[in-house]
Structure formats: C-alpha cells, structure tokens
A and B are shown apart, each in its own frame.
Chain A
Amino acid sequence: MLKLLLKTLVLPFYRLNTGLFLFIFFFFFGVVEAGQLISYHLTLIQAMVHAAVFMVAVCLLWLLYFVKCIRFALKGIHSPANSFLVNLQALPAARQWLLLLPVALLLFLPVLAYAGPVMYVAVAEAESILAVCLALYLLAAVTAGAWLMKYTLHCYNRKPLLLALPHLHIGGTSLIALQIANLLNKRKVALLSVKLMSVLVLFGFWQLNKHFDQTLFLMFFPIPVVAQAVLVYYSVIFTETEMAFHRNLPLPVIRVFFAFTCTSILLLLPEFAFILLHAADHFTWPELISLYLLAVAVLVLFTAILYTLQANIHKYMLAVLLLYFLLTYLMVLPHRFTLVGFILIVAAAFFLRGYRRFELSS
C-alpha cells in the first residue's frame, strides 16, 4: 500500500519538479569549484548557526518548500485519478499514520538531508539548543504534513485551506501583465522561494563581508541573478502553453521579446531595491544601473536560450551553469553598458530564431 502511495504522491512530485531540483542542485553545488564545495557549505551553515536572522530566513525558505510539497500531495489526493485513496479512511488510525508519515518524510527529503549537517554543525559549535529547536521544527513539519494528508482523506468533500491560497488579480491584459499574474498566482511559492533565496544570499554576503569588497561583490552578484532562471523557465512554459494562442495574434516577434524583457525588469526589482539599500554608498549611480541592466540582459538571454533549446530543462540548466561561470569573469570587466548591449543583441538574435522554430514537445 505504501508503494502505491509513493507512486501516486511522491514520484510524480519529483518527476514534475525535476527542473526545480536540478536548479537547486546547481545553485547549491554547481556554483563553486569541487575543491571548495565543503568549505563553501560549512561557511553557509556556520552563518546560519551564528546569525539568528539568517537561520529564521532559512527556516522560512524550508517552510515554503514544505508548503509546496503538501499542496502537491493534497492536490494529488483530490485529483479524480487518485480518488481510490479515499479508501484509506477505512484503515486504523495508527496504520494511516504509518503510511502517511513516510510520504511526508520522502517529500521533505531534500530539506531533511541538508538539515542533518546543519544540526551537526550546531552541536559542534556549542549551539545545542538551536539543534534541538531545528529538530523539533522539522519533526513538527513532517507530522503536520502527514496530519494534513490524513485530514484531507477524511474530509474529502472539503477543499483544504492550503489549496485555497489567495489569488492576486492583475488588471492589465498585456502579455507582460499576464506573465507577472502567472508568477503571482500559479507560481507564487516558487516566486517567493526564489526571491527569499536570492535576498538571503545577498544578505549572507553582507553578513560575511562587513568590509565591503567591490570586486568580491561583483563575482558574487551572478548567484542571485541565476537564481531567477527557474522563474524565466516558468514564464516561457506559461507563454507557450496557457498563452499558446498568442502565436495566432498579430503581435510582432519583437513585441513578444520586449514583453519578456519587461517581465525580467519587474522580476529583478526586489534584488535591485536590496542592493540599493545596502550598496548605494559603494557604487555610483551609473554602476548600479549597469548592474541592474546586466542582470536583466542575462534573464533575457536565458529566455532566448530556452526558446533555442525547445525548453529542454536539462540542456537549459547546463547552459545556465556555463553562463554563470562566464558571468563571474565578465562582471569585473570595465564597460559594463557595452556588455549589456552585446548580451541583449545576442539574446534578441537567438530569440528571433528560436521563437519562430519553437514547438513545445507534449
């Protein structure tokens, strides 16, 4: 019976979110050289253990992941294809817990796997209370997840509150407004996670580098930029599935390109605001604007790459990884506005070609 539950609620989750996991794996393990991987993560974990704000933010990020997992499981229980799961009600309560706890555990596995070393470091750094609190937090999350699934099975006719997250209405009827509305409505957990993650990375930089080093910051800057790669992917997929009809509308291709550019500009506003608040003293205005425009140009290039690669997530992630490494070298070069112009021209060329030939494989 557990096997059936894993097949209906766990495996589809990992299958559907392959892109997200590839992205997370890349984000945490691909951005540093293999030799520095352990020291990089140890520094990150030590920052979590010693800075309460950092730890709270990480817990919030994990909470968003838990919400994503449980929303998927609850939707799965409610889907017509899985209606047979309602028969689990007939089992004794203890047996139901024994079946649903492993489901929650396996859904939360990526977080639990990372939380283990965090707790170990906390104990080693004489922060045992933090380790206990963390263990209780994770235990509460797994139990709550299993309980929510059990509750949903027993109250099958009621829509779980977790599935009824508020919908945000964006009045506009342009491609840009619809793309933003998609991220705010259908991808709100991913959007929040990415924004929290990138701001967290920027915050971590400021915590670890009290004496601001501009060169170091420029080499670090591509990390929060590439964190947006997953949102770019969701925007392209939305445009080519739910908005596929736009291809029959008399919209010049350049206008579609412009819509993606505007979406990128809006997407990066929170990071820009964060940098403005913290680094305004260390950069001139033209430098700040060139940084922002460079980030926008990179997202537009991601869009163009997705169209060129027929939205193949594996190839896309590889391209993002390569671009990340290239960007860390390009960041420190002078004439950043020229670089922005060059990236936008390359992106436009790739986009025009890729958009016309694009066909989403079913």
Chain B
Amino acid sequence: MLHIKHYSKGYHGQPPVLEIPELHLPHGLYWLQGENGSGKTTLLKSLAGLVPFTGSVSVARTDQQRQPVQYRRLVSYAEAEPVFPGFATGAELLQFYSRTKGGIQVKTKELLQNLGMATWVGNKTSTYSSGMLKKLSLLLAFVGEPQLILLDEPLTTLDAAASKTILEHILLIHRQGASFIITSHQPLDAQVLPYTLLHIKSANLHQAAAHA
C-alpha cells in the first residue's frame, strides 16, 4: 500500500529530522508513536504532500512526485490543529473538498449527522470551537475515496461521544479497504482498533508488532 524510499526531511540546511531509507507498509491501521518533536507531524505532512522532502513516496503504486493529482485522490490528511479561512462556512469547505476529491460518500454524510454537525456546518468557521474545527477537519479527511488516511491527533479536543463515533467510523472505513496512519497521545484500544505500532526514534522510523 505505502512505499517510502530514500526519504529525508530537514529544515533550512539543518541535519535531517527524519530519514527513512526504505519502508513498505501493507494495508493496515498504524499507530505512529514518538516523542514530542520527533517528526510525526512532519512525516504525515510529507505523506500528505504538504511539505517538500527528498526521496519518493507512493501509495498503491501511485507516486507523489510523478502523479501528484492521482496521489492526492488516494491520500487524505487531517491536521492536529486545523486552520481554515474564518469567513468560509464548513459547508462551503465540504463542497470544495467534494468537488476536488470526487464526491461525498453516504457514510461521510452519516458521519456528519452522527457528529452532530448538521446544525452548525453552515456557520462560518470563525465561530467554531476547537472541537468543532476538529470534527470538520476529520470529516473532510473522509471525503472522496482515499486509500490512505493520515490523522494527526484525531482525538484531542473531542468529547467522549465524538471520539467514540470517530473511532467507529475509522474501523468501518478501514474494513472497507482504507489504511490509516494515526498519531495519538491518547491510548488507542487495540480491542476497538486493531493497530500496528510504528515508532520514530533517533530520526528513524521503526515498525513494531501488530496489536489486535
């Protein structure tokens, strides 16, 4: 599913913060762990195509550099601290994503209802609380038919009910064929989400055992 080769990312001439000589991850649900500042977000942003890096990354044999448009149809990303234009409404952003990513699935519409977003999604994002911004960001990550969904701290700022809904939705979408890489400082329950551990240590990514 995900293939990384000769990946290296540094900032402004500094030594690389993260290097991955070669890594192949099959379809799965991965919990990416690492200390603060170890490069988890940098890796997710690189995989999402948000920041430049050296090396190559491909998902389902679609290379990020050579097939940038197709690649971005396959990979979605939700930020840890999402930022949106304050004058735009959630519904407008949803429409923007839907147009580019190829439509909203029925399950995503259900998620919108289940997260209780229907009443406020038409309001400007400047009026949203951090939890509401998070819900919108997560919902947008499910738009289209991504094969790899990158979620950076998906549970922070969410209430217990919303966290449960999101975890159930992740499992549902995973069973339908999508893979996930999730960073989370909150513990993930292996009984709910059968994850495989990925660990960033000393600027390198290591794969650990699967938990089910």
Contacts and interface: CB of A to CB of B under 8 A. Distances in A.
B12 A250 contact: no
Contacts of B49: 247-248
A251 B69 CA distance: 6
A326 interface: no
Given A186-B86, A358-B52, A173 B96 contact: yes
A250 B100 contact: yes
Interface stretch (A117-125, A219-227, A236-244): A236-244
A244 B92 CA distance: 16
Contacts of B88: 173, 178, 181
A186 B87 contact: yes
B72 interface: yes
Nearest to B70: A250
* Chain A CB within 10 A, most for which of B51, B87, B101, B140: B87
Given A173-B95, A173-B96, A358-B52, A248 B72 contact: yes
B73 interface: yes
B83 A244 contact: yes
Interface string B6-32: 000001100000000000000000000
Interface string B68-83: 1111110111010011
A174 to B, nearest CB: 8
A356 B87 CA distance: 27
A178 B73 contact: no
Contacts of A243: 85
B163 to A, nearest CB: 22
Contact of B99 (A173, A181, A359): A173
A245 B79 contact: yes
A238 B85 contact: yes
A167 B127 CA distance: 13
Interface in B100-139: 100-102, 124
A335 interface: no
A245 B85 CA distance: 11
Q: Looking at chain A's contact residues, is the secondary structure mostly helix, strand, loop, or mixed?
A: loop
Nearest to A361: B12
B50 interface: yes
Q: How large is the interface on A (under 10, 10 to 19, 20 to 34, 35 or more residues)?
A: 20 to 34
Contacts of A174: 96
Contact of A248 (B77, B84, B102): B77
A186 B125 CA distance: 14
Interface string B146-184: 000000000000000000000000000000000000000
A253 interface: yes
A211 interface: no
A268 B69 CA distance: 31
B50 A248 contact: yes
Interface in B27-82: 48-52, 68-73, 75-77, 79, 82
Contacts of A182: 85, 87
Given A173-B93, A241-B83, A248-B76, A357 B52 contact: yes
Interface string B172-210: 000000000000000000000000000000000000000
Contacts of A178: 85, 88, 96
B68 A248 contact: no
A169 interface: yes
A68 B92 CA distance: 29
Contacts of A251: 69, 72, 100
11 contacts: A178-B85, A181-B88, A238-B85, A241-B83, A247-B48, A248-B48, A249-B97, A249-B101, A250-B70, A250-B71, A359-B51
5 closest A-B pairs by beta carbon, nearest first, are A250-B72, A173-B96, A249-B100, A185-B87, A242-B85
